[in-house]
Structure 1
Amino acid sequence: MLDVPGDNASSGKGHPKGLYVLFVTEFWERFSYYGMRAIFILYMTKMLLLDKALAANIYGSYTGLVYLTPLIGGYMADRYWGNRKSIFVGGTLMALGQFMMFMSATFAAGADKGLSITLMWTGLTALIFGNGFFKPNISTMVGQLYKEGDVRKDSAYTIFYMGINAGALIAPLICGTFTDFKWGFLCAGLGMIVSLVIFYITKNKYLVSPEGRQLGVGANKLNDVAPPDASGAPAKSAPAFSSQQLTILIGGIIVAFSALYFGAGIDVWGSLIYGMTLIGPIVIITDKTLSKIERDRLWVIILIMIFVIFFWMCFEQAGASLTYFADEQTNRHVFGMLMPAAYFQSFNAGFILILAPIISAVWVYLAKKGVSPAAPFKQSLGLAFLAAGFLFIAFGCKVIPADGASILFLTGLYFLHTIGELCLSPIGLSMVNKLTPGRFTSLMMGIWFLAIATGNKLAGTMASLYPDPTNPVHPHVLGFEISDLHSYFMLFVGFSGIAAVMLFLLSRKLQKMMHGIS
């Protein structure tokens, strides 16, 4: 269903085998990530006995930094290591990080909370940097399997996205089953080892370009197709960043960090994430080697990043406030058994596996009819479905029965959010790959992940406002009082709904700036 017949820009029918190598590699890496994420906030509140607000902020900082470090990993791949080495280094670090989390939970069971917290931060650090090297480079390699203009790219990224979510579906069901969290972390570590082994064994045979060239073996800075020089050799493209740009980047981040940390009173990790998100796009858009068309296309990515921030700030409540809601306010008795709260983390992934082929087929059908909407319009739909999901659960929170809210409210929310995610996230990955000049591909993918980093960090901040019925003092956000769960979830309806309308109104202008790429 997802395969698209080839045309002059394609290498044939179906998809290259390398796509399925990346699919399986990403499956196990995401099993590792989502297995750990499903139990992380429960581990902090139930085993380390951390305050909910503190745990939510740690969760937001972790998931934010996970999406921040792809900027470093993308730069290293573009300038020095190439995709393959970066993926392998990143995977190794993530495996070590998961085993550190296993050790943290092992000592926590023995009431040695100080050592447990130290090991937890060590493990999180390894996971954060490992993901930074792994994630942007494996996403970039999907696009490299196809020729420029190949209409199968959107379909390929949707298939790849299904690999992500197949791992995310199974991980909470396995890692979330254990009441002793250390075994869940151990399973996550073993999943990362499987991912590394599969990638190492299959990479040379299947990760090749349409012309048969080995992909990802060296720096990407020469990947642009340029006219040959007088000798007939291809002209070399400029490196990803000049020394001057690096100076501006580092200096700008220091200034932004200082203003946010000392001036606005934002915590260290938030100041770092927000500072890099502000400065990174500015540096790349001012590159002097960009043509007008290239710069316009990059502006499209940067402007959509703003809306992506709002999407992930709301969507990533799944691992924080929605987990609290599942654990404390939801009736989880199913067929006489109490379902672990972590199992709800599988709902989104399960719906993606069902809906991704359908939505992908819709995009393909519309493309064949010549009426396929541009990426910005699709992403505005994603924000609209996100708002609808929070509106649904806000309705369910008006009156919560004594035995908890019906499981149908969380189920409906995840169903609507899944449609929204499929309209925004895989389309965004494909858009970045298609609109970015080849010499900046991995780096721009890293900058795209900065928006996701900011959204995740803000998600933790918003989750820290989760209402406590025993606290008579109610927080306010932009003049809006959060007095109960209904008002809390309506806040997300407002954020995502307004963002959806604004992106819809801008979509036609952004489409023109894409200069023929949809």
Structure 2
Amino acid sequence: MSETTAQKGHPKGLWVLFGTEMWERFNYYGMRAVLVLFMTKALLFDKAFASNLYGSYTSLVYLTPLIGGFIADRYWGNQRSIIAGGIVMALGEFLLFFCGSTYASSPDLSSILFFSGLGLMIAGNGFFKPNISSLVGQLYPKNDRRIDPAYTIFYMGINVGGAVGPFICGLVGDTGDPADFKWAFLAGGIGMLISVVVQLLFHKKYVLGPDKQVLGLTPAGSPSLWIKPIAIIIGLAAFSALAIGMLYIDAKVVSYLTYLLAGSAILIFFMVMTDKTLNKFEKHRVIVLFTVVFFVIFFWSAFEQAGASLTFFAEEQTQRDLGFYTVPASWFQSLNSLFVVAFAPVFAWLWLKLGKKDPSAPTKMAIGLMLLAIGYLWIAFGVKDVGAGIKVSMIWLTGMYALHTWGELCLSPIGLSLANKLAPFKYASLLMAVWFLGNAFANKLAGVLSALYPPSIAEIKKAADVGIDLEPILAKTVTPSAEVIAKLNDAGIPYKFQSILGYDINSLYDFFVLFVVMAGVASLILFALTKKLQTMMHTKEA
């Protein structure tokens, strides 16, 4: 085969990485689609606790790759880390399967299995996530024009998994019977094993660099002790135990993650900005990066309601009955990935078509925040003035997810690229960690905000069993009295005034407007800062 012919297609290694990542995303998003439903319907956690636990879990999922990536780069190599992480995640899913099989008969055992399963998912993701993506670019020579299309293909793999996972796991697990949730976890675990098998069978044969050498093997100079099987097993066990402990302590003992993440970001900022070897321009770019990450937190904390409060909304307030079939609430989490596949080429074409009029990166990110706010405004109108107990059309959730996806396509790839451009070479890895710290902080905040979700009509109607007058509660225009709320709480019904920064949330409309204001104000401020940020970048490309 001539060199010219070889350049026309993509190496087979890309499809190996595509399959590996697709099945892992099938596992992660499939499990995430039913997680809060399992917590509230099977384990009987209240929504506030389930929301906060969801936020802690997804936050740690973004935090652990910092450690897994470090160990892979220096000791284990990419492939060994991917396989080890995948096996640990599969074990986590199987523990959740056993949790789903024992929650009714052995509540104490199921609780241990639940936190252990989530901890293994967090630990395994730490080794899998940072290592698979980095291999894609290594398949090609430097400056090869196929690299950008390769990442587009790889991104499609992520979204194929993200679309199919909630569909399959929801089909077998989200049936209306809490006992069936275990099948969703089993399906996720099987998907994860397929991902590992793809790596084991095809990596060394096809994942080759331009020099035909296998990529991602043990780094040169790695101590032999670190790659002995017993050392790897002990390391994974210790890291998993740490992840389980961090999750349990944040959920059950003291909520510390928010302070840990904020403190880490402040420490990194201080360390970089006091480095006298960096010039003024480099420090300006660092300030821009931290500013962008700050605004990204508002985006993802609202966007990630998909796995928490928006799942509650799909379950309780959305008309899902098609007559012949009731659509599982978890299926709505497939919409984002489906819309990414549909609209990503459109946005890529749009930015090219605009040419010199192509907006700057901060402007695109501000547009992304505004689209997110419009998405929540759309669904707020959908629930405004809807009578108690009335479910709304699926069009409201579907339209919102479309708008949110458009916002994601304006913000996510643009922001990640910008972070790479702005970070001084000396701190490239550390400042990429800041990007993921922002995501971790946003996911924790997403759980906190989801805890403000108002109780469902079904929950409130339990008050009828204790003889409480429902009229003041069910009428959205009447604020429940403190006496009625006290009686509901005494009866085990978690109804209370929800308030954030003086803003009271007594209805779904109030809840969704919170995100309209939060994302909308953040967008307007970022729009106002755009010219200043562009100046501080000191680069035309950004």
Query: What band does the TM-score fall into relative to the shorter chain?
Result: 0.7 to 0.9
1:501 aligns with 2:489: no
**Cα distance in structure 2, aligned partners of 1:335 and 1:438:** 59
1:105 corresponding residue in structure 2: 100
2:440 corresponding residue in structure 1: 453
**Cα distance in structure 2, aligned partners of 1:325 and 1:215:** 45
Superposition map of 1:311-460 within 5 A: 311-366=299-354, 369-401=355-387, 402-436=389-423, 443-460=430-447
Q: Deviations over 1:364-412 (max 9, x none)?
A: 444xx34433332222221111111000001111122544011110011
Q: Determine if contact 1:69/1:446 at 8 Å carries over to the other structure.
A: no
Question: 1:293 Cα deviation (Å)?
Answer: 5.6
Question: 1:294 Cα deviation (Å)?
Answer: 5.2
Q: Determine if contact 1:32/1:192 at 8 Å carries over to the other structure.
A: yes
Q: Determine if contact 1:28/1:192 at 8 Å carries over to the other structure.
A: yes
Question: 1:503 Cα deviation (Å)?
Answer: 2.2
**Cα distance in structure 2, aligned partners of 1:151 and 1:503:** 33
Which amino acid is the alignment partner of residue 167 of structure 1?
A: G
Q: Deviations over 1:316-344 (max 9, x none)?
A: 11111111111111111124321111111
2:189 corresponding residue in structure 1: 189
1:215–1:175 CA distance, 2 compared to 1 (3 A): same
| Runs of 5+ consecutive residues of structure 2 not aligned to the other structure | 1-5, 223-245, 461-472, 474-479, 481-495
2:204 corresponding residue in structure 1: 204
Q: Which gives a bigger RCO, structure 1 or 2 (Cα 8 Å, sep 6+)? A: 1
Question: 1:98 Cα deviation (Å)?
Answer: 0.9
2:267 corresponding residue in structure 1: 279
Instruction: Indicate which of 19, 22, 41 corresponds to 1:24.
Output: 19
Question: 1:136 Cα deviation (Å)?
Answer: 2.2
1:282–1:31 CA distance, 2 compared to 1 (3 A): farther
1:481 aligns with 2:475: no
Q: Determine if contact 1:157/1:429 at 8 Å carries over to the other structure.
A: no
1:294–1:158 CA distance, 2 compared to 1 (3 A): farther
1:217 corresponding residue in structure 2: 217
Task: Give me the TM-score of the superposition, normalised by structure 2.
Answer: 0.78
Which amino acid is the alignment partner of residue 309 of structure 1?
A: I
Instruction: Provide the aligned length of Structure 1 versus Structure 2.
Output: 466
Q: Deviations over 1:85-123 (max 9, x none)?
A: 332222222111111111111111x42111111111111
1:247 corresponding residue in structure 2: none
1:490 corresponding residue in structure 2: 513
Question: 1:221 Cα deviation (Å)?
Answer: 12
1:452–1:315 CA distance, 2 compared to 1 (3 A): same
Question: 1:419 Cα deviation (Å)?
Answer: 0.7
Q: Deviations over 1:24-72 (max 9, x none)?
A: 2211111000111011101011001111111111111101111111221
**Cα distance in structure 1, aligned partners of 2:19 and 2:118:** 24
Task: Give me the TM-score of the superposition, normalised by structure 1.
Answer: 0.81
1:309 corresponding residue in structure 2: 297
Instruction: Indicate which of 110, 114, 139 corresponds to 2:108.
Output: 114
1:58 aligns with 2:57: no
**Cα distance in structure 2, aligned partners of 1:500 and 1:152:** 34
Which amino acid is the alignment partner of residue 166 of structure 2?
A: P
SS in 2 for 1:476: strand
1:123 aligns with 2:123: no
Between stretches 488-497 and 205-214, larger displacement belongs to 205-214
**Cα distance in structure 2, aligned partners of 1:411 and 1:69:** 32
**Cα distance in structure 1, aligned partners of 2:208 and 2:361:** 28
1:12–1:383 CA distance, 2 compared to 1 (3 A): farther
**Cα distance in structure 2, aligned partners of 1:76 and 1:287:** 26
**Cα distance in structure 1, aligned partners of 2:55 and 2:400:** 21
Q: Deviations over 1:409-455 (max 9, x none)?
A: 00110010011111112223333344446676555444321111111
Question: 1:284 Cα deviation (Å)?
Answer: 5.3
Which amino acid is the alignment partner of residue 317 of structure 2?
A: Q
**Cα distance in structure 1, aligned partners of 2:11 and 2:361:** 24
**Cα distance in structure 2, aligned partners of 1:145 and 1:435:** 25
Q: Determine if contact 1:74/1:443 at 8 Å carries over to the other structure.
A: no
CA RMSD of aligned residues (A): 3.1
Question: 1:155 Cα deviation (Å)?
Answer: 4.8
**Cα distance in structure 1, aligned partners of 2:336 and 2:113:** 30
1:330–1:273 CA distance, 2 compared to 1 (3 A): same
1:244 corresponding residue in structure 2: none
Which amino acid is the alignment partner of residue 160 of structure 1?
A: F
Q: Determine if contact 1:221/1:439 at 8 Å carries over to the other structure.
A: no
Between stretches 501-510 and 413-422, larger displacement belongs to 501-510
1:120–1:474 CA distance, 2 compared to 1 (3 A): same
**Cα distance in structure 2, aligned partners of 1:85 and 1:477:** 46
1:40–1:446 CA distance, 2 compared to 1 (3 A): same
**Cα distance in structure 2, aligned partners of 1:464 and 1:426:** 29
1:45 aligns with 2:32: no
Between stretches 340-349 and 29-38, larger displacement belongs to 340-349
Larger radius of gyration: 2
1:373–1:147 CA distance, 2 compared to 1 (3 A): farther
Q: Deviations over 1:109-159 (max 9, x none)?
A: x42111111111111111111112221222333344456666766554443
Question: 1:487 Cα deviation (Å)?
Answer: 1.1
Superposition map of 1:134-213 within 5 A: 134-145=128-139, 155-177=149-171, 178=173, 179=175, 180-210=180-210
Which amino acid is the alignment partner of residue 476 of structure 1?
A: S
Question: 1:204 Cα deviation (Å)?
Answer: 3.3
Superposition map of 1:251-266 within 5 A: none
**Cα distance in structure 2, aligned partners of 1:206 and 1:364:** 33
**Cα distance in structure 2, aligned partners of 1:411 and 1:338:** 16
1:467 aligns with 2:454: yes
